[in-house]
């Protein structure tokens, strides 16, 4: 079966020096703290020692709501133990229920889900897609009602053909021939927007038959905005003017804007296309567009809707007459207004083109530029941030501010400092750096289409697969998961990526100079090196202690990350291969972490084969939503089944990705 990510190696070479690396970083904690100018925040009592009032004010921006109080949580639950059960686990006193599994009807004629995979492509266009990933909850209204009803936006990263279709793809002579199968596969990608509400009698969350409900798929028309709009790289037969493109693909993580829209991010899009051009143009080659066939062979079905996935230039044609540029319409951050169901999604090209994991805003400050952090999840790729030209005005700012600004890439120095390097065609230093490497760009559109190449020439730091980021709403400190890196050679480590290879991953955090998110310099440290007891470390409060992980919290391959309105850092894991199926970590999990004390505790475990990804709560924190993606995709098969899991339906049912709704039985804050 197809694993969407780069393979995770199963064997780790024991390296006794990892804890030393963290200890060294801890020793330099004073320097780290010195990076902030607000003395009150940088006191000896800890980085996050802020007043409750300040916390409450800042947290108002965290989840689209004003938190009146930000109680310090005790995390008093009993940690969930490592297990390989085919059921989800939460601590005693909590309840977890599956919700919105793949196939749930949400719009149109609400076609019922058929469990044997025989729903049509047209059905799938009205049902929840497969492989849930990033997700956000938009309260339907301010105040208490927002805790009971909201719009849930859920990404559908990729598909599993053996569960989606009755018997997997039909092939004749090795080629796809059945159009409706491919129509269904394209429809199972994208985003679901669905109004949900909590039924006060049953206390269960349900789908509302709402005008907001919408499926956005791999075929939905979208607009290209920003510097790449209208440029020669995005002219196609479908859009000779280079202003439109069909669909969004491989929507991994996400973001949400201060003006209440949803961002969905295109990650491993390159594999959906094929180009037999020789040589491959750099804007395809640097992202790994294959030259034999697309990952699902969609290009083999006759018709413009499918042939577009073959980007091989047609002899004698211009770019406006074929699909050589179709892949250039992908690799972007896409903005969707969930409250405007007829709006056309916008590909915001100023934020760069790469394997976008997600896009996370720093807290918005009126009168200051807006700042968005982003990771490029591939081995040895980079961390980026985008700074808007516009200064934030809560009454006026909208998504158009994302079309004009400066894209930066991060360089992490071994001394704990860091620098943001502009990828800006208007910047003479940037053009000189490119020229020195023998690379030339002809415009900012060229720079953005080739973002990885631009980052290469300025000397950005190659990271261990940057996944999710989270920005603390009070301190503005940024956390990012580096999930693992099988490709880092032992001799190619640096202080920010200290293991070569890195099978278990780590979490780095940084603070921008002067606590200004748009600063050009920052100070960083490693918050946790994930792994087993013998090979892990956590940076505790004050930088003194360097404890290892233990049975209550050991984890590997961190991926999803979110700091909620109470300052809790939620960590989700995405192990695969033998690390998932035979390692000491059990099924993938979700943990809570206290960024201040370094406390980490396992709160939730998923089912065999799945990753845990996507996390958000209602404003009250009393309902928490997380996703299980690709349950049953790998691992030991259930007796009599083709899969290792039958979650959530049980028996011999085919497994389905779904949302997990978590509540505390006494009605309290989840995780408290």
CB 570 within 8 A of CB 591: yes
What is the footprint of ligand FEO within residues 1-60 (CB under 6 A)?
5
Per CB under 5 A, which region of 64-72, 285-293, 512-520, 611-619 contacts Ca ion?
A: 611-619
Distance, in Å, from the CA atom of 49 to the CA atom of 41, rounded to the nearest integer, reads 6
Query: How many residues in the shown chain lie near ligand FEO by CB under 6 A?
Result: 8
Least distance CB 467 / Ca ion (angstroms)? 5
Reduced to 3 states (helix: H, G, I; strand: E, B; else coil), residue 84 is coil
Considering the rule CB under 6 A, would residue 267 count as an interface residue with ligand FEO? yes
Considering the rule CB under 5 A, would residue 5 count as an interface residue with Ca ion? yes
Considering the rule CB under 6 A, would residue 529 count as an interface residue with ligand FEO? no
Q: Single out the residue of 157, 326, 594, 596 in contact with ligand FEO (rule: CB under 6 A).
A: 157
User: Which option in ligand FEO, Ca ion, none does residue 381 bind, with CB closer than 5 to 8 A by kind?
Assistant: none
Distance, in Å, from the CA atom of 53 to the CA atom of 207, rounded to the nearest integer, reads 36
Considering the rule CB under 6 A, would residue 381 count as an interface residue with ligand FEO? no
For residue 505, how far is the Cα from the chain centroid?
16
Considering the rule CB under 5 A, would residue 381 count as an interface residue with Ca ion? no
Considering the rule CB under 6 A, would residue 376 count as an interface residue with ligand FEO? no
Considering the rule CB under 6 A, would residue 106 count as an interface residue with ligand FEO? no
For residue 437, how far is the Cα from the chain centroid?
31
Tell me the angle at which helices 451-458 and 428-436 cross, rounded to the nearest 10 degrees. Answer: 80
Distance, in Å, from the CA atom of 328 to the CA atom of 190, rounded to the nearest integer, reads 17
Residue count (the chain): 672
Tokens of 62: 């965290």
Tokens of 68: 């009146």
Sketch the per residue contact string, 547 through 566, with Ca ion: x for CB under 5 A, - otherwise. ------------x-------
Least distance CB 610 / Ca ion (angstroms)? 10
The residue with tokens 């925040």 is: 41
Least distance CB 172 / ligand FEO (angstroms)? 32
Considering the rule CB under 6 A, would residue 322 count as an interface residue with ligand FEO? no
Smaller CB separation from Ca ion, 402 or 556: 556
Least distance CB 133 / ligand FEO (angstroms)? 6
Considering the rule CB under 5 A, would residue 300 count as an interface residue with Ca ion? no
Q: Single out the residue of 252, 530, 589, 628 in contact with ligand FEO (rule: CB under 6 A).
A: 252
Least distance CB 4 / ligand FEO (angstroms)? 6
Q: Of 343, 356, 367, 334, which is closest to residue 257 (Cα–Cα)?
A: 334
Distance, in Å, from the CA atom of 356 to the CA atom of 379, rounded to the nearest integer, reads 13
Considering the rule CB under 6 A, would residue 377 count as an interface residue with ligand FEO? yes
Q: Single out the residue of 310, 574, 596, 633 in contact with Ca ion (rule: CB under 5 A).
A: 574
Tokens of 87: 């059921």
Read off the DSSP letter of residue 282: H
Q: Of 478, 482, 480, which is closest to residue 500 (Cα–Cα)?
A: 482
Smaller CB separation from ligand FEO, 123 or 559: 559
Distance, in Å, from the CA atom of 467 to the CA atom of 478, rounded to the nearest integer, reads 13
265 Rama sector, left if φ>0, alpha if ψ -120 to 50, beta otherwise = beta
Interface contacts to ligand FEO, rule CB under 6 A: 5, 157, 252, 267, 357, 377, 467, 559
Positions touching Ca ion (CB under 5 A) are: 4-5, 467, 559, 574, 611
């Amino acid at each position: 079966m197809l694993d969407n990510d780069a393979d995770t190696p199963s064997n780790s070479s024991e390296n006794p020096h990892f804890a030393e690396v963290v200890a060294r970083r801890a020793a330099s904690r004073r320097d780290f703290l010195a990076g902030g100018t607000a003395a009150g925040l940088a006191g000896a009592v800890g980085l996050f020692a802020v007043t409750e009032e300040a916390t409450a004010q800042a947290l108002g921006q965290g989840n689209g709501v004003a938190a009146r109080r930000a109680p310090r949580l005790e995390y008093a639950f009993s940690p969930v133990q490592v297990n390989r059960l085919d059921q989800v686990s939460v601590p005693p006193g909590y309840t977890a229920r599956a919700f919105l599994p793949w196939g749930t009807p949400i719009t149109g004629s609400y076609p019922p889900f058929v469990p044997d995979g025989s729903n049509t492509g047209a059905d799938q266009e009205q049902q929840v897609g497969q492989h849930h990933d990033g997700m956000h909850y938009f309260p339907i209204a301010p105040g208490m009602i927002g805790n009971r009803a909201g719009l849930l936006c859920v990404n559908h990263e990729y598909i599993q053909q053996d569960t989606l279709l009755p018997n997997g793809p039909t092939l004749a002579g090795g080629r796809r021939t059945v159009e409706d199968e491919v129509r269904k596969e394209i429809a199972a990608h994208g985003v679901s927007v669905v109004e949900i509400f909590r039924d006060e009698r049953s206390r269960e969350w349900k789908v509302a038959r709402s005008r907001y409900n919408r499926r956005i798929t791999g075929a939905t028309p979208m607009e290209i905005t920003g510097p790449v709009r209208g440029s020669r790289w995005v002219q196609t037969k479908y859009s000779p003017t280079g202003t439109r493109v069909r669909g969004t693909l491989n929507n991994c993580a996400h973001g949400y804007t201060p003006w209440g829209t949803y961002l969905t991010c295109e990650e491993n899009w390159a594999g959906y296309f094929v180009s037999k051009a020789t040589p491959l143009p750099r804007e395809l080659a640097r992202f790994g567009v294959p030259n034999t066939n697309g990952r699902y062979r969609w290009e083999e079905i006759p018709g413009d809707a499918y042939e577009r996935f073959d980007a091989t230039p047609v002899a004698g044609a211009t770019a406006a007459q074929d699909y050589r540029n179709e892949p250039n319409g992908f690799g972007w951050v896409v903005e969707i207004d969930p409250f405007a169901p007829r709006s056309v999604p916008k590909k915001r090209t100023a934020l760069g083109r790469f394997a976008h994991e997600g896009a996370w805003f720093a807290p918005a400050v009126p009168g200051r530029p807006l700042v968005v952090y982003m990771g490029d999840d591939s081995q040895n790729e980079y961390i980026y941030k985008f700074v808007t030209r516009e200064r934030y005005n809560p009454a006026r700012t909208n998504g158009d501010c994302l079309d004009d600004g400066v894209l930066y890439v991060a360089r992490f120095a071994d001394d704990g400092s860091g620098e943001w390097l502009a990828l800006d065609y208007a910047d003479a230093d940037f053009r000189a750096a490119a020229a020195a490497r023998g690379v030339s760009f002809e415009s900012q559109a060229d720079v953005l289409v080739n973002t990885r190449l631009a980052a290469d020439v300025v000397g950005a730091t190659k990271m261990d697969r940057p996944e999710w980021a989270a920005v603390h709403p009070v301190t503005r400190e940024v956390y990012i998961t580096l999930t693992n890196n099988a490709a880092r050679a032992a001799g190619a480590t640096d202080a920010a990526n200290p293991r070569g290879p890195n099978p278990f991953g780590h979490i780095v955090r940084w603070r921008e100079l002067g606590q200004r998110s748009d600063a050009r310099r920052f100070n960083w440290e490693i918050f946790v090196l994930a792994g087993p007891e013998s090979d892990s470390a956590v940076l505790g409060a004050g930088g003194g202690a360097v404890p290892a992980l233990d049975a209550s919290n050991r984890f590997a391959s961190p991926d999803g990350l979110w700091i909620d309105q109470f300052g809790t850092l939620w960590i989700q894991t995405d192990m695969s291969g033998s690390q998932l199926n035979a390692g000491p970590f059990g099924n993938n999990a979700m943990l809570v972490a206290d960024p201040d004390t370094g406390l980490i505790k396992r709160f939730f475990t998923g089912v065999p084969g799945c990753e845990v990804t996507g996390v958000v709560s209602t404003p009250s924190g009393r309902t928490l939503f997380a996703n299980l993606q690709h349950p049953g995709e790998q691992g030991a098969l259930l007796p009599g089944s083709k899969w290792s899991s039958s979650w959530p339906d049980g028996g011999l049912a085919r497994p389905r990705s779904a949302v997990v709704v978590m509540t505390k039985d006494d009605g309290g804050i989840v995780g408290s």
